Structure 1
Amino acid sequence: MIQKKSVKRMFLAAAILTSGAVFSAQADVVASVRPLGFIASAIADGVMPTEVLLPDGASPHDFALRPSDIARLRSADLVVWVGPEMEAFMTKSAAQLPPNRQVEIATLPAVKPLLMKGGEDEHDHDHAHENDGDEHHHGEYNMHVWLSPEIAREAAIVIHDKLVELVPQKKQQLDANLARFEDGLTKTDKNIGTMLQPVQGKGYFVFHDAYGYFEKHFGLSPLGHFTINPEIQPGAQRLHLIRTQLVEQKATCIFAEPQFRPAVITAVAQGTKVRMGTLDPLGSGIELDADSYVNFLSQLANQYLSCLK
């Protein structure tokens, strides 16, 4: 039996090494996507490490778990994710975790009333049907919840509460971390509001329908998006509509994303005065620490500003 166990451990260690992922044998807080890692690491700072499942450059819309990822989820003290509508790849693994060891943000009682209705709008008929059999079809709500400062605050409170249950001896540190997070969020929120005020009336298009929470919170004026699901190329009707609006100079800017730089954006913008920018809804490259979430919001605000102003 002992031999079996050690063989199993060796196999797991080998799987971990060959996967190329960097994480510790005892995973502590595991977040599905980087921005949730930002929130979790602020609360767990000095208490336990936080790791992110999704590698930089990958998209939550089409990611698949490797055996090493499944092992990480099983050994985590706490798993933080949005829910099956955003991370379909985690549904099976999360179902095997006890409720006290996971935070599924979209189902939190304080978050439910803050959810925004999702994607489909009247211009999407030309590719809505392609979406039908799509297993990560965006459902009723916009699940990019980490772009909402209000939802981030609610998530932080619940992560704090779960960690206090798991490591009650660290309550004082966790309380201090939450207070610091809330204070930083309040200040950053105010700063960004002031920063973005001059560009509030300027129209723009985003590549995919991810930014609704941020835009609504800070009063920005999006004209629309190329696609709801970044895995699906926008249809001809949608592109014609966007092109018409660009020619009529209703838009100042078109934003691509680091994960998705489709040629279609360049093609549509050709011969117009519109500027091209990049928005990073996952904060790739930002280190996980006590301030990473507020740094992420500030970086996004600066990305809007540099193209719109």
Structure 2
Amino acid sequence: MIQKKKWLQRALLASALMMAGSATAAVVTSVRPLGFIASAIADGVTETEVLLPNGASPHDFALRPSDLRRLRSADLVVWVGPELEAFLSKPLQPIDAQKQLSVAALPAIKPLLLKDAEGDEHHHEGHDDEHEHGHHHGEYNMHLWLSPEMAKVTAIAIHDRLLELMPQNKDKLDANLRQFENLLTQTDKNVGKMLTPVQGKGYFVFHDAYGYFEKHYGLSPLGHFTVNPEIQPGAQRLHQIRTQLVEQKAVCVFAEPQFRPAVITAVAKGTKVRSGTLDPLGSGIALGKDSYGNFLTALSNQYVSCLK
């Protein structure tokens, strides 16, 4: 009996130690696509972890106690900024400024930001509910990882910050950055070729996230159902979209894995419009050296398979 009790105590102690050790030092990113960029730069230097689980949206996420532990023990926390991940603003306050990186605040990012222009047009349609709920994206489109140009700026910033924190890993970090930049150049060319045949085809997306990607690759979006994914589009908005679908201006309407609203199905019903799914967070893609390239390629395939 005593033997069994001792064994149980040991087992409990071991599991407590394991749990304490589970919040290990790593680069922690808010969303998965930032994890793709960080894991390429930190490869062989430190682990990369993502806070948001697959299927969660940065617009309405709530941190668990284990997430707070991960933030506190991280080598570096990489996020877009309070406009996108409002849930991180408070938890990051006690963390050393050197150990956090807000991509939206980088000087090289500022001139590349796109205004959330359609957001203004929504307010004129009488969507007062957006004012009450607070327009999450603020003035600019904050889905920065969908711009290959901004992904490169982000990679350089992560490299520079890790270099300050871990100067002993300079050679590895430098090599990783070169490799990332080469992969990005190659992927960018391939994706450009893939998307050329569908550049003139009109479509609707569920939420206003893809501006950077669409602009970079010359795509032809006709509009979106909503700016803020938690707010269902109003009747007037749906009527406008329905009219355009009936007039056959659009080839496709896209939902997202995080949001599969019935409104999309209802609006497209009885028209010849195809429906597809765009995944702006790269849910199924494993972190690693090539993951950002795989993400851009997967997203392009999602466009092409519906628009072709």
Report if TM-score (shorter chain) is over 0.5. yes
Structure 2 residue 72 is the aligned partner of structure 1 residue 74: yes
Q: What's the RMSD between the two structures over aligned residues?
A: 1.8
Distance 1:242 1:14, change over 3 A: farther
Residue equivalent to 2:82: 84
Which ranges in structure 1 are unaligned for 5 or more consecutive residues? 1-9, 18-22
Distance 1:205 1:14 in 2: 50
Q: Does structure 2 retain, via aligned residues, the 8 Å contact 1:88–1:136?
A: no
Larger radius of gyration: 2
Distance 2:268 2:204 in 1: 11
Residue equivalent to 1:28: 26
2:244 match: secondary structure: helix
Alignment-mate amino acid for residue 52 of structure 1: V
Calculate percent identity across the aligned residue pairs. Answer: 72
Distance 1:16 1:53, change over 3 A: farther
Residue equivalent to 1:193: 192
1:288 match: secondary structure: coil
Of 86-95 and 275-284, deviating more is 86-95
Q: Does structure 1 retain, via aligned residues, the 8 Å contact 2:32–2:52?
A: yes
Structure 2 residue 177 is the aligned partner of structure 1 residue 211: no
1:139-178 alignment to 2 at 5 Å?
139-178=138-177
Structure 2 residue 245 is the aligned partner of structure 1 residue 246: yes
Deviation, 1:165, is 1.0
Structure 2 residue 113 is the aligned partner of structure 1 residue 115: yes
Distance 1:194 1:13 in 2: 53
Runs of 4+ in 1 over 6 A off after TM superposition: none
Distance 1:123 1:165, change over 3 A: closer
- The Cα offsets for residues 242-300 of structure 1, whole Å up to 9 and x where unpaired, read as 00000000000000000100000000000000000000000001000001001000000
Deviation, 1:222, is 0.1
Residue equivalent to 1:97: 95
Q: Does structure 2 retain, via aligned residues, the 8 Å contact 1:106–1:143?
A: yes
Distance 1:13 1:273 in 2: 58
TM-score (norm 1): 0.92
Which ranges in structure 2 are unaligned for 5 or more consecutive residues? 1-12
Deviation, 1:123, is 4.2
Aligned residues: 294
Q: Does structure 1 retain, via aligned residues, the 8 Å contact 2:23–2:69?
A: no
Deviation, 1:124, is 4.5
1:132 match: secondary structure: helix
Alignment-mate amino acid for residue 23 of structure 2: A
TM-score (norm 2): 0.92
Q: Does structure 2 retain, via aligned residues, the 8 Å contact 1:117–1:142?
A: yes
1:51 match: secondary structure: strand
Residue equivalent to 2:37: 39
